[in-house]
Structure 1
Amino acid sequence: MTEILQTPKLVVVFGGSGFVGRHVVRALARRGYRIRVACRRPDLAGHLQPLGNVGQIQPVQANVRVRWSVDRAVQDADHVVNLVAILHESGRQKFTSVHEFGARAVAEAARAVGAGLTHISALGADLNAQSDYARTKALGEKAVLETISDAVILRPSINFGPEDSFFNRFANMARYSPVLPLIGGGQTKFQPVYVGDVAEAVARSVDGKVQGGRIYELGGPQVLTFKQCMQEMLAMIDRKRLLVSVPWWVANMQASILGLLPNPLLTKDQVLQLREHNIVSEAATRENRTLAGLDIQPHSIGSILPSYLWRYRAAGQFQRKTAA
């Protein structure tokens, strides 16, 4: 009797060529899924090919602001993952067009082909937030659930990992600057989450192991203030730097100037975000809408940071360990 081989599910990942995307693609590839990576520049997505077998990963051109390209990208999909987000506005890339219009476009396209949907939002998303980033993230969640009621929504805290733009940015700054700024005194609380854990949560939702129609808040095992994050980072790279408190009004002035740069170090909207703690809520913990609720043991920053921050040490990987 001839055995009929079942074709693996096709998963379309919007924003799959980015920081979180490459880890999501790796987690899906390990499970044997066929993966179509929808991104604005597929010619720059070659780094994804080694993550899977020959022909398993296919980059295609799509822009969540252009509806017909979204519809084309999701054709024949079994599941859709939307990772697209921006940290600051530039050109046509606006918070509303990407976080709200884009989220609805992806959701409607997924519904049209009968595909499941996993949407990545952000911890701190709030319809009443002063920050445009946080408010439009919440509007995107609303659009998704209005379109597909059983969609899975994941809200991660600050993601850390080899290619992150948080610890890497400040570690690089510490190589040249004798001081590091602590906006608002550095008392804002964060719950940094390893990007690999977020990717695993996404992959489990594609597996069908995550209950839909719920919003999950993903944070790591430690709650740290911004100042403590900087102290942990400096300890990892074995450098001593002066941590200087920057009052909110000074930060706003700096953001007004820095925000004009093509790739700004700080924007006024980011200053607004820093006024709010970025940690998993008590309600999410109580209702098991966390990594623990998904049976994922989160990695601590102490177990991951040394694997990639060593390059910021004075002697790199040959730096001698200092006695505690």
Structure 2
Amino acid sequence: MKVAVFGGTGFLGQRIVERLLDKGFEVRAVSRQTRRAITTVGSEAKAPEQVKADILDRSSIGPAIAGSDAVVNAVSLYVERGDLTFERMHVTAAADLASAARQAGVERLVHISGIGADPRSASRYIKARGRGEDAVRNSFADTIVLRSAVMIGPGDAFLTTLVRLVRLLPVYPLFGQGATRLQPVYVGDVAEAVSRLLADPIQDVSTFEVGGPRILRYRELVREIARTIGVHPILVPMPFAAWSALAVAAEFLPTPPFTRNQVDLMRQDNVTTAGMPGLPELGIEPRDIEQVIRMIEGTGIKTRA
């Protein structure tokens, strides 16, 4: 089976490409940065085909998926910039890819979404994720939607940052009271889920939600990090209003450390829905967060830009 992976050089996309190659798939890594993919994915003996294309450019999508049996949309956007909005990336572009896949006769489409995706949400990000799922299914009816909790692993933009800050700061500011519930999932487990959905899809199931083995409140997550790396910061609650005010100022920076949208997301629980099929139904035992923290500590990888 030939699989085109959009976002093939991203945090998740690289892992999907690697996992598919290991399982004998013929893989096409689609990205705006093929040079990066060549240096970070695969090997001389087992490497993906490199295709340069932009999901935001409709004219480049068709040639990029030509001849593919399956397509994976692992493209993500967490910070809006100018006309690069959540709506444009997660709704319009995702629908364009789904439409092109249908027209090209692609057999399977796996669309990566997020836990809590809801077209009625007040959050622009969550709303776009929900609208995107609807738009993709309107274009490609048999789409498999994989909603992921926050993904973690060496080089991520979440846990790697937390590990560094918990080690650095003797006093650690929490989002609110630190009561938001999270279910971080190892990125490699998400990639494995994608590979299994492509190799052997479960009949009559089109939506999956994947999360880690433990649900932790934010303050519990910080304590778990501190315990694992052997530090003892003082945790101090900080009102969400203060975080939002800081985010307004931070958004004037070339690369803001956090945005108002991200602050809003930290107000909402990010856990899988009871009864929804996920990693257990795919035969995957999720990696515990302590293992992932130790992986991050072992690599010494800095937070990705």
TM-score (normalizing by structure 1): 0.88
Q: Helix, strand or coil: the match of 1:146?
A: helix
Q: Does 1:17 align with 2:9?
A: yes
Q: Sequence identity, in percent? A: 33
The correspondence for 1:35, drawn from 24, 27, 37, is 27
Partner of 2:218: 226
Q: Helix, strand or coil: the match of 2:278?
A: coil
Shift of the alpha carbon at 1:212? 6.0
Structure 1 stretches of at least 4 aligned residues deviating more than 4 Å after TM superposition: none
Structure whose CA Rg is larger: 1
TM-score (normalizing by structure 2): 0.93
Contact 1:150 1:213 in 2 (8 A): no
Partner of 2:273: 281
Q: Mark the runs of 5 or more structure 1 residues left unpaired by the alignment.
A: 1-8, 313-324
Q: Does 1:292 align with 2:292?
A: no
Distance 1:271 1:303 in 2: 27
Partner of 1:113: 104
Contact 2:62 2:104 in 1 (8 A): no
Greater relative CO, 1 or 2 (CA 8 Å, sep 6+): 2
User: How big is each residue's C-alpha offset from its partner over 1:231-281, in whole Å with a ceiling of 9 and x where there is no partner?
Assistant: 111122222212221111111111111122232222111122111110011
Structure 2 letter corresponding to 1:290: G
Shift of the alpha carbon at 1:216? 0.7
Distance 2:180 2:46 in 1: 45
Shift of the alpha carbon at 1:208? 3.0
Distance 1:92 1:63 in 2: 15
Contact 2:113 2:145 in 1 (8 A): yes
Distance 2:45 2:31 in 1: 20
Structure 2 letter corresponding to 1:160: I
Shift of the alpha carbon at 1:105? 1.0
Contact 1:236 1:310 in 2 (8 A): no
Compared CA separation, residues 311 and 111, structure 1 to 2 (3 A): closer
Compared CA separation, residues 208 and 310, structure 1 to 2 (3 A): closer
Partner of 2:18: 26
Partner of 2:192: 200
The correspondence for 1:184, drawn from 176, 189, 192, is 176
Q: Mark the runs of 5 or more structure 2 residues left unpaired by the alignment.
A: 301-305
Partner of 2:81: 90
Distance 1:139 1:283 in 2: 22
The correspondence for 1:309, drawn from 283, 297, 303, is 297
Q: Does 1:70 align with 2:61?
A: yes
Contact 1:220 1:299 in 2 (8 A): yes
Distance 1:245 1:36 in 2: 46
Shift of the alpha carbon at 1:178? 2.4
Partner of 1:316: none
Shift of the alpha carbon at 1:13? 0.2
Q: Helix, strand or coil: the match of 1:121?
A: strand
Partner of 2:303: none
Aligned residues: 299
Compared CA separation, residues 164 and 212, structure 1 to 2 (3 A): farther
Compared CA separation, residues 89 and 123, structure 1 to 2 (3 A): same
Partner of 1:268: 260
Compared CA separation, residues 172 and 302, structure 1 to 2 (3 A): closer
Q: Does 1:174 align with 2:162?
A: no
Structure 1 letter corresponding to 2:283: D
User: How big is each residue's C-alpha offset from its partner over 1:290-312, in whole Å with a ceiling of 9 and x where there is no partner?
Assistant: 11111211111123321222466
Compared CA separation, residues 163 and 292, structure 1 to 2 (3 A): same
Compared CA separation, residues 15 and 203, structure 1 to 2 (3 A): same
Shift of the alpha carbon at 1:146? 1.1
Shift of the alpha carbon at 1:204? 0.8
Distance 1:290 1:230 in 2: 26
Structure 2 letter corresponding to 1:54: A
Structure 2 letter corresponding to 1:154: L
Contact 1:152 1:212 in 2 (8 A): no
Partner of 1:58: 49
Distance 2:254 2:102 in 1: 36
